[in-house]
Amino acid sequence: MPSLTIRNIPENVMKKIRMRSEIEKRSLNSEILLIIENGLEKRTVSRSNKPVSRETRTRLWKRISGKWEDDRKTEEIIDDIYKSRRGRFFS
């Protein structure tokens, strides 16, 4: 698993992280990972309605290409996709 070193953390931020980790009875590492995960989730959700460039879409599709596993037939998957779509472009 990759690791990361963060330098120059302001003392007031470090105190808050220590306090949270003590209150939640987690290690500093676990607390920091949770903070990062929660922050990324919020940013991803808040940005989900913003347009994504063609280049970014292509890069993301290439990253997940060939990794999808599903026991359903192709027609069932397509039907489920159409049923879940909303908005002016989908019916």
- 32-85 pLDDT, tens digit per residue, is 999 999 988 877 665 556 677 888 888 888 888 888 788 998 889 888 888 887
* 86 pLDDT higher than 50: yes
Question: Where are the chain's structural domains?
Answer: 11-67
Q: Give the mean model confidence (pLDDT) for residues 87-91.
A: 53
User: What predicted TM-score, i.e. pTM, was given to this entire model?
Assistant: 0.48
CA distance 17 to 29: 10
Which tokens hold the place of 36?
A: 């990062």
pLDDT at 14: 94
Give the CA distances from residue 43 to residues 37, 39, 51, 68, 79, in Å, rounded to whole numbers and listed in that order.
10, 6, 14, 25, 30
Task: Indicate the residue type of 38.
Answer: N
pLDDT at 91: 47
The DSSP symbol for 87 reads S
pLDDT tier at 89 (50, 70, 90 boundaries)?
low
CA distance 28 to 14: 10
Helix (H) or strand (E) holding 32: helix 28-47
pLDDT at 67: 82
